[in-house]
Amino acid sequence: MKKTVIFALAGSMLVGACTTDPYTGQQKVSNAAAGAGIGALAGAGLGLLAGGNDRRNALIGAGVGALAGGLAGGYMDRQESELRAQLQGSGVSVTRAGDQIILNMPSNITFATDQDAVKAGFYNTLNSVALVLKKFNQTTVDVFGHTDSTGGDQHNFDLSQRRALSVANYLGAQGVDSRRFAVTGFGATRPIASNATSEGRAQNRRVEIQLSPLT
């Protein structure tokens, strides 16, 4: 089970309701289903899209050029270098996986316990991320929310969704093109450490940003 929201500039409010994609079985969540955390998205003029290729088509249709296959690696190299420089000492890790870049944002620096509002102390870090994302605009941005296994499954999925939405919404408010984003809440289904220890649970509570070249 996971919940994905794909959104783009589309008027003054979020549209759509909680539906299941008949082809993928994936649940698409609107503001009504995602809870209070998505409310800020409406103020940013974000609308729900349906279908995995919508981001790519919207960006190319808006004049954002796709990268030729041979150029993607170098483009992501330069973006990775700038992210590492901007995020040094921030507590956010930068990992490279092929042509993708993953930023791991632990919840202890991003959110208060069981809350979905980004901590004010984390704004400067997200501002740095936004600067790089605006410079390297030929990438799509997937924001993944994760929790530990404490609490019920539905609560964890909803919390992970709202936290990911909060991060995406903040970046959008800093001028990152909202058509680049997709947001997914995974709850506790993708741990990176054992939930049997407090240290492991702390590692599992995180938001990840995955950057992929637009090709």
The CA–CA distances, whole Å, from 37 to 44, 117, 173 equal 13, 8, 15
- Could you report the per-residue pLDDT of 148-168, keeping only the tens digit for each? 999 999 999 999 999 999 999
Segment 66-78 shows an average pLDDT of 88
- pLDDT tens digits, one per residue of 82-127: 999 999 999 999 999 999 999 999 999 999 989 999 999 999 999 9
Helix (H) or strand (E) holding 110, with range, is helix 107-110
Asked if 192 and 147 count as a contact pair (C-beta separation under 8 A), the reply is: no
In 3D, which of 152, 151, 161, 149 has the Cα closest to residue 116?
161
Whether residue 171 contacts residue 122, with contact meaning beta carbons closer than 8 Å, is answered with no
State whether the Cα torsion 157-163-168-169 is positive or negative.
Answer: positive
Provide CB contacts within 8 A for 53, sequence distance 6+.
none
pTM given for the model: 0.77
| Domains in the chain, CATH or no CATH each | 3-213 (3.30.1330.60)
Answer yes or no: is pLDDT of 15 > 90.
no
Q: Which amino acid is at 89?
A: G
- How does DSSP classify residue 180? G
Contact 194, 137 (CB under 8 A): no
pLDDT in tens, 21-68: 333 343 333 333 333 333 333 333 333 333 457 787 778 777 777 787
> How many residues are recorded in the chain?
215
Start-to-end Cα distance in the chain: 28
C-alpha torsion angle, residues 19, 212, 102, 14 (rounded to 10):
-30
Q: Can you tell me which residue has the tokens 């702390």?
A: 202
